[in-house]
Amino acid sequence: MSKWSGYQLGVMCAVIACLVSKHFYIISIHEWLESLPSWMNPSIAITFVCIIVTVWSTAAVLYWQDRKNTQFFTHKIWRVLPAILGVVFVLSLIGFVVLGVTVFSSITQNQQWQIDVVLLYFLTLIYLFVLSVVQRYGKVRTSEDLIVYSANCTVLVLLIILFFVPGIL
């Protein structure tokens, strides 16, 4: 196993460990969040951290994948990947609505991990979509610049949606 594979495995294990530890220490996390300044909404803080960690861990995994295989971003799949990911996103959204009406309607605190997994899935899917659009339609960039630029764009778009869209509605 190459050192890049080890880094990828380490990032994935760290994300899983954070997800698992969140459920073991949920009471401590809530107590800590209540100590935040009054101007900071705890649910916004959790969402913000989740967006940053998910997008940047996905970007790190793709960066190390590019280090293992320098032809990673020159494959032909990148030409059609925006369309493929768009269809997968729409189908996933429909599936999420169906699950929300059925399975997720009666979720308990012990089953909160299911929502976390769906959230991680959608954030990763959104990042991959932005990365594929930047790769397909963007200017010629090195792969490192491409990964960092697309991660920054994804975080910025998601944070704008998070902070400004609810205020408009």
Could you write out the three-class secondary structure of 33-53? HHCCCCCCCHHHHHHHHHHHH
The structure tokens listed for 116 are: 């976390």
- Residue 19's identity, in one-letter code, is L
Note the pLDDT tens digit of each residue in 94-103.
998 888 888 7
The model's pTM? 0.76
- Of 1-5, 40-44, 114-118, 129-133, the least confident: 40-44
Q: What is the pLDDT of residue 133?
A: 86
